[in-house]
Amino acid sequence: MSILITGGAGYIGTHTCVELLNKGEDIVVVDNFYNSKPQAIENVKQITGKDFKFYEANILDREKLVKIFEENNIESVIHFAGLKAVGESVQKPIEYYTNNVSGSLVLFDVMKQFGCKKVVFSSSATVYGKPEKCPITEDMTLSTTNPYGTSKLHIEQILRDIYVSDNEWGISLLRYFNPIGAHTSGLIGEVPSGIPNNIMPYISKVASKKLERVNIFGDDYNTSDGTGVRDYIHVVDLASGHLNALSNLREQKSGIFTYNLGTGNGYSVLDLIKTFEKVNNVEVPYIVCDRRPGDIATCFSDTTKAENEIGFKAVRSLEDMCRDTWNFERNL
């Protein structure tokens, strides 16, 4: 029996593949390399010393998905595949809804065809929109501010409706906060195309002098130092959360479960920059710019439910996140 990993060559996907392989799981990976490169697959094999089946395909391609299920005994799916840049989604909403929502519908329909009814879905804290309070709990009101977040919320709703129609399904909705860091080997990490959208790869590019400086969008928020506060989680901790979620589905047999994956701690942009400078002994020049429309002051998770129900707790520190990011950057 194998676990199908969609988008398994991506940032979070590769780290999850490593954790699964190290636990002795059999995996099958599918990716179309839109947000990733073939070398990432080879690096996963190098880190683990294990081989696995890989298919280059888009999840919109039903024929290829059927072939994957025909050729492998798939018992569950961890679903990462999709477009993922918030800003880009505002410019390309049709592409985001087509890839993320329509692609997921094709995948779920093929799963149903083959009687595969266990799925761990890569959702996002963006489904909370502008949260009414912090820390954010899983039962808070859901809303979105961009097509990326809306696509994640739509897929969550589709999965809820699938469960209502057939409660033999086991479904885990994992709402990520802000994954950063890299594997300690320095072989896999976040590799954005062009100028990074996310803060940590941007910081590392500035530290390596590939970019001039970090732009901090606003220093007049109601936070300890005026800069925005977010819940940053090490990508390896995040990856391990998928194993906890999958284990829970295997034990429970069926049901639909929703969990925040974060640390439960908020760190400001300046915390991130200063910690990165300190642990790596580098300089990260920055300037303060105007706030960006739609940004909020503070956003961090309540992780109580994940800890109590699936035994998940992030263990890596902000220092670990910064150190591992820089180690990966220097290996590029």
> Residue 301 gets which letter from DSSP?
B
Supply 256's token pair. 């639909």
Q: What range defines the domain where residue 133 resides?
A: 2-180+232-261
Same domain, 33 and 49: yes
Same domain, 15 and 106: yes
Half-sphere exposure of 76 (CA within 13 A, CB side): 24
**What pTM does this model have?**
0.98
Residue 92 lies in a domain: yes
Q: What is the mean pLDDT of residues 182-193?
A: 95
Same domain, 244 and 308: no
| Segment 217-230, tens digit of pLDDT | 999 999 999 999 99
Task: Give me the DSSP letters along 217-274.
Answer: E-S-SSSSSSS-EE-EEEHHHHHHHHHHHHHHHHHH-SEEEEEEES-S--EEHHHHHH
Domain count, the chain: 2
Residue 202 is among the residues annotated as catalytic for this protein:
no
Instruction: Report the CATH number that the domain containing residue 80 is assigned in CATH.
Output: 3.40.50.720
Same domain, 217 and 97: no
Using DSSP, how many helices (H) and how many strands (E) does the chain show?
12, 14
Q: What is the mean pLDDT of residues 179-204?
A: 94
Residue 185 lies in a domain: no
| Segment 20-31, tens digit of pLDDT | 999 999 999 999
CB 252 within 8 A of CB 330: no
CB 90 within 8 A of CB 146: yes
pLDDT given for residue 194 in this prediction: 83
| Segment 231-277, tens digit of pLDDT | 999 999 999 999 999 999 999 999 999 999 999 999 999 999 999 99
Structure confidence at residue 7 as a pLDDT band (50, 70, 90)? very high
Residue 188 lies in a domain: no
CB 58 within 8 A of CB 32: yes
Residue 120 lies in a domain: yes
pLDDT given for residue 243 in this prediction: 98
Same domain, 225 and 236: no
- What is each CA distance from 44 to 10, 18, 181, 207, 308, in whole angstroms? 11, 6, 16, 26, 31
| Segment 34-58, tens digit of pLDDT | 999 999 999 999 999 999 999 999 9
Residue 308 scores a pLDDT above 90: yes
Same domain, 64 and 92: yes
Q: Which of 11, 96, 148, 202 is catalytic?
A: 148
Same domain, 152 and 24: yes
pLDDT given for residue 87 in this prediction: 86
Nearest to 207 by CA among 312, 291, 323, 97: 323
Same domain, 277 and 146: no
Same domain, 298 and 254: no
Structure confidence at residue 303 as a pLDDT band (50, 70, 90)? very high
pLDDT given for residue 193 in this prediction: 83
| Segment 312-330, tens digit of pLDDT | 999 999 999 999 999 999 9
Same domain, 102 and 245: yes
Q: Which of 215, 243, 261 is the last residue of a domain?
A: 261
Structure confidence at residue 132 as a pLDDT band (50, 70, 90)? confident
